[in-house]
Amino acid sequence: MPRMNRRRFVGSLMAGAGAAATLPMFSRSAFAQDAARLRLYWWGNPSRDERTFTVIDLFEEANPGVQIDGETVSWGDYWTKLATQTAGRNMPDIVQMDYRYLDEYVSRGALHSLEEFRGGALDLSTYEEGPLAGGMVDGELYAINIGSNTQVALFNARIFDEVGIAFDPYGYTLEDLKRIATEITEATGGSTYGTDDNTLAYEAFETFARQSQAPLFAADGSIGTNEEVVGEFWEFWRSMREAGVVPPAEQSASLIGSGMNELGLITQNTAMSYLWSNQIVGAQSLSSDVLGAAMYPQKAGGVPGQYVKPSMFLAMSANTEHPEIAAKFISDWVNDPAMTAVLGLERGIPPVPEVREALSPEFTEAERLSVGYFSEAQKHVGELPPPPPPAAGEVTDAFVRIGTEVLLDRQSISDAAAEFVGQANAIRRRAG
């Protein structure tokens, strides 16, 4: 054996490492010949990731010879990575899908129709009709809704009790909100404002526009709202600012894009914040006070504006080599008692009644609030709007951008409303 000098030492180290690295590779590829390997891709958070990996383990145990590789990233990177993988014909077999992108992926032929598996590998016998509709594109089933969701106005129940606020959480109007917010601001001596300022809250505007029967996007994807409705919305929140019952404008402006822990409701800067119903459990865990749930305020003389949104779907890649296994996985995800028990309410309200019932004895306070609110709100919501058209996200961004000018009094409301409608139309035209 030649004398070991430094170079030789490093060389042999690397050779050893190389051999060690190739060994398991070979053994795995030998094994892969009889195992079916699928990839599952989702966006989420640590709690969701843990639940999902557990579900994968359960499925693998029940189906020997199947291996599911989980891949997860945050929402911000999710669509970039999925689009790139799809372009490279490397789309994961099963993907978590959002209502906004479903049409786009179907129209580009990236998703596998699920019709052929119905009644076979995909058991939908106890699955509710309403949630099912969200996954249909042109009358054909492409995605399975794995949890529903609706807008929610969360309020600080302790403060509401102490101040003695009485209101109907499912029927109060914007004028009621103004009265409530004034009472709270006065009773707390201004240390807690009545509510968050919704000037920049796109969901609040979307609800208001639907209540005014001028939804932002019409059924054909064109801009269905007008300057008057946009102006009326911003006027209301300006009157709230002038009354001093929402936080100062600059404070609200700086909260854009910040996390849930900075919400007015959580920091107790305000007594009311606006979220989605699958965030109730998360918000409660951050709040030291007990929270209550209400719908968004109604518009006097308006129609219902909120809706039940399919919050997430599972869909199948058109290029998957194992469509039957993928279909079975999706089916078990919504039906299997062990798997649904692990998933809980984390992704939204489960669409199978038996699953909801089986879960209920284990509910925490916050989960009970979430389910109770959801089932009551369901009676007061409007129809599911069509999926947002291409570039809808850009229109949302323009709303926030121009809304900031209104919020900070840098532009008159009538000018800003006209500019927003103009830009929204231009963005839609450019997207084609």
Cβ neighbors of 416 (< 8 A, separation 6 or more) are 230, 234, 402, 403, 405, 406
CB 407 to other proteins: min, Å? 9
- C-alpha–C-alpha distance, residues 243 and 259, integer Å: 27
Q: Which is nearer to other proteins, 125 or 258 (by Cβ)? A: 258
Structure tokens at 359: 């879960």
Closest CB 420 distance from other proteins, rounded Å:
13
Least Å distance between CB 214 and other proteins?
Answer: 25
Listed in sequence order, the residues at least 6 apart from 116 whose beta carbon sits closer than 8 Å to its beta carbon are none
Residues that bind other proteins (CB under 8 A): 76, 79-80, 83-84, 86-87, 104-105, 108, 110, 248-258, 391, 393-394, 397, 400-401, 404-405, 408, 410
As measured in angstroms, the least distance from the Cβ of 381 to other proteins is 29
Name which of 77 and 175 has its Cβ closer to other proteins: 77
> Please, which residue, 49 or 104, has the CB nearer to other proteins?
104
Provide, rounded to whole angstroms, the least separation between the CB of residue 334 and other proteins: 27
**Shortest Å distance, C-beta 426 to other proteins:** 8
| Cβ nearer to other proteins, comparing 146 with 406 | 406
The dihedral through the CA atoms of 318, 324, 326, 331 has a sign that is positive
Q: Where are the alpha helices (DSSP H) in 139-274?
A: 157-163, 174-187, 202-211, 227-243, 249-254, 264-267
What is the rounded distance in angstroms from the CA atom of residue 9 to the CA atom of residue 17?
A: 12
CB of residue 254 to other proteins, shortest distance in Å: 3
Whichever of 281 and 318 has its CB closer to other proteins, that residue is 318
Query: In this structure, are strands 66-73 and 36-43 parallel, antiparallel, or unpaired?
Result: parallel
Residues with Cβ within 8 Å of 369's Cβ and at least 6 positions away in sequence, in order, are 280, 284, 291, 292, 293
CB 236 within 8 A of CB 279: no
> Coil, helix or strand for 298?
strand
Distance in angstroms (rounded) separating the CA atoms of residues 45 and 60: 22
- If the CB atoms of residues 76 and 164 are measured against other proteins, the closer one turns out to be 76
Tokens of 303: 């129609």
Please tell me whether residue 421 adopts helix, strand or coil conformation: helix
Q: Which is nearer to other proteins, 247 or 348 (CB)?
A: 247
Q: Which is nearer to other proteins, 167 or 202 (by Cβ)? A: 202
> Which residue, chain included where needed, has tokens 């779907």?
313
Residue 395 beta carbon to other proteins: minimum distance, rounded to whole angstroms: 11
Structure tokens that stand for 399 in this block = 């709303």
